[in-house]
Structure 1
């Protein structure tokens, strides 16, 4: 069995465990919508129920259709990731790491949607009264994975242009 079929799922599982552990801690320690300043003027811990997507997009507590929409998008995205894992050269650690991050993050938020009907967000960064939308460990991994995947694609295109494809 190629190492990528062990590396990606194992790395994704570690991300899921970290994400779910952090969310379980928030659920146990913070009532919904509670805010606890950590670094005044910059960072709070909060407990937010996000029924939408990234940055609260389509976050509407009056309807439930978006739950199924985002669960469907997650399954579609994971299908694309599975294809990319299968077609990634086994020695392309950057691309495989990116795919593991995306997989772990997507599954971490998917678990919340199945279990709670919403995603637990809790990291609240701000300056003055201007807040970045609350997010979680899974969101960090999805964004980092997307950035790493972009860098891997750029590197691979550069190598193809040079004729030194990995």
Structure 2
């Protein structure tokens, strides 16, 4: 007779292998790469635009802080936004984990999209909680116009979000009623 603990771990393993939770490795990869790159940037680059590294005629590496959200939204506030954005990220992560648990592991498109958003959101939440700001290091520009600096986590969130929107326009195969 199996113990409750072995049955529970067997069921958990089965749940992870058969559902979208199997794709959480991608969220962990995005999170680890994002945090790793940010630590390298913080340890090896001077802060601010004056210390940027010119890589291409339209791209620099730099080290800046973002106290707000995308495009420095609410960065001029007194600090409450740090906790608001962290709470939103945790809520979105919980919702996406719930959806991933409902999806089969074979539903690659949505599971990849959800994993990218989760990994990116948690990467930026880590920064907010540990440092009080998000570390940005990618600077794309055209002439004198600079796109707001961003990071790998932001890129993963955007790619995942675009995938979710595209999925809304994809035709779904009719599923038989069960």
Aligned to 2:22: 7
Give secondary structure in 2 for the equivalent of 1:159.
coil
Kindly report which structure 2 residues correspond to 1:113-132, keeping only aligned pairs within 5 A, or say none. 113-132=128-147
- The offset of 1:46, in angstroms, is 1.0
Secondary structure in 2 matching 1:38: strand
The 5-angstrom pairing of residues 67-146 of structure 1 reads 67-146=82-161
| 4+ residue segments displaced more than 6 Å | none
Confirm or deny that 1:54 pairs with 2:67. no
**Over residues 93-124 of structure 1, what are the superposed CA-to-partner deviations in whole Å (9 max), with x where a residue is unaligned?**
11000011001000110111111000000000
Residue of structure 1 equivalent to 2:45: 30
More off after superposition, 123-132 vs 143-152: 143-152
Q: Which runs of 5+ in 1 are unaligned?
A: none
* Residues 89 and 151 (structure 1), Cα distance of their counterparts in 2 relative to 1, 3 Å cut: farther
**Root-mean-square deviation (Å):** 1.6
Alignment of 1:142-161 (within 5 A): 142-155=157-170, 158-159=171-172
Q: TM-score, normalised by structure 1?
A: 0.89
Provide, for residues 65-114 of structure 1, a one-character-per-residue CA deviation record: whole Å limited to 9, x for no partner: 11111111111111211121122233211100001100100011011111
**Number of matched pairs:** 159
Question: Computing the radius of gyration over CA atoms, which structure comes out larger, 1 or 2?
Answer: 2
How far has the Cα of 1:10 moved from its partner? 1.1
CA distance in 2: counterparts of 1:7 and 1:128, whole angstroms: 44
Name which of 55, 60, 78 aligns with 1:44: 60
Query: Cα 1:6–1:82, aligned 2, differ >3 Å: closer, same or farther?
Result: closer
Cα distance, 1:44 vs. partner? 0.7
Distance 1:145 1:114 in 2: 23
